[in-house]
Amino acid sequence: MNWAVAHRIAGIAASQAHRDLGIDRTRYVPVHQALKRADLVGMAQPMPRLFGVYVSPADNGPAVLLNANLNIVTQRHTAAHELGHHQLGHHSAADDDLSPALRWGNGSWPDEEKTAEAFAAWFLMPRPAVLAGLDRICQGQPTSPEHVYRLARELGTSYTGTVRQMQNLRLLEADRARQWAKISPAALRSSLVGGAALPADAHVHVVAAASPLQQVHADVGDVLIVQEEKASFVSLPKGLVHWTDAGQAVEAVMVTDEFCGSAVLEVSASGLDEPIQLMVVRDAPRAGVHDVWPD
């Protein structure tokens, strides 16, 4: 099976899974919640050499084991990959290659791994969610890799994976996708905050005036920035603190470990009649059994 066939199979399966599990296809996909809805027993614990494990019904499943040491983006992708094994009726599988190059697949992958990997992309990045995000970010016309990075933050996906999925969706030409995929996400993050140094695993989330009640899924160390003229945060809940290392034209706050759950933020800016409102949600890697995972 080649990758084109794998994506066709996976795209159909992911769409069916969205329907069956009650997933809103226009926004960030709550993949850990989807595991619960699919009646998969879920657990996450530190594992030095594994991304995740799927246990099929034939082996006393269905169940999923995730690596609790993964960052939230990689754990979300792994959870979607394991869910793909389940939705596609696959055998039990252990995903144990930590090489980023192989993680995105090569020609030697078994068919079941190819379709599960493709399922993860289609499940986390369905066309309606991608189009809605691009409309908010760049009026539906991505003209820079920063636009794709911002879309990845809205969807909770990796930058490279988002570039590839946009090519699958025919929203990026192959040549441009190859060029943009070579750009370091670290360079894009640095560019958005005016060249300031960021924690190694931190993400940058851009607050947009064109996004009423924008929802930001962020973890500790992540930075929220506003690029509107004379912008300022009206108030900050516990756990969000002003970040003064950003460039002078950028208003920024950082997420600390004291921030839990979710909170509504308001941002005032020059020329706006009403403050920008956004919902910030703490989204950290899951650990322990699924009964204690946040929704």
- CATH number, domain at 221? 2.60.40
Same domain, 115 and 204: no
Structural domain harbouring 102? 3-124
Backbone angles phi, psi at 29, to 5 degrees: -90, 120
157 lies in some domain = no
Cα–chain-centroid distance for residue 119? 14
Same domain, 11 and 120: yes
Domain boundary at 68, 89, 124, which? 124
What value does the mean pLDDT take over residues 71-90?
A: 96
> Which CATH number belongs to the domain containing residue 104 in this structure?
1.10.10.2910
40 lies in some domain = yes
Q: What is the DSSP string of 95-144?
A: E----HHHHT--TTS-HHHHHHHHHHHHHHS-HHHHHHHHHHHHTT---S
190 lies in some domain = no
Tell me what pLDDT residue 281 has: 94
What value does the mean pLDDT take over residues 8-23?
A: 96
Same domain, 206 and 119: no
Domain boundary at 124, 151, 174, which? 124
Q: Are 67 and 47 in contact (CB under 8 A)?
A: yes
173 lies in some domain = no
Domain count, the chain: 2
Same domain, 7 and 104: yes
Cα–chain-centroid distance for residue 29? 8
pTM metric for this prediction: 0.92
158 lies in some domain = no
Tell me what pLDDT residue 107 has: 57
39 lies in some domain = yes
DSSP 181: H
- What's the residue count for the chain? 295
More confidently predicted of 239 and 245: 239
245 lies in some domain = yes
Same domain, 113 and 203: no
Domain boundary at 90, 124, 158, which? 124
Q: What is the pLDDT of residues 158-180, one digit of tens each?
A: 999 999 999 999 999 999 999 99
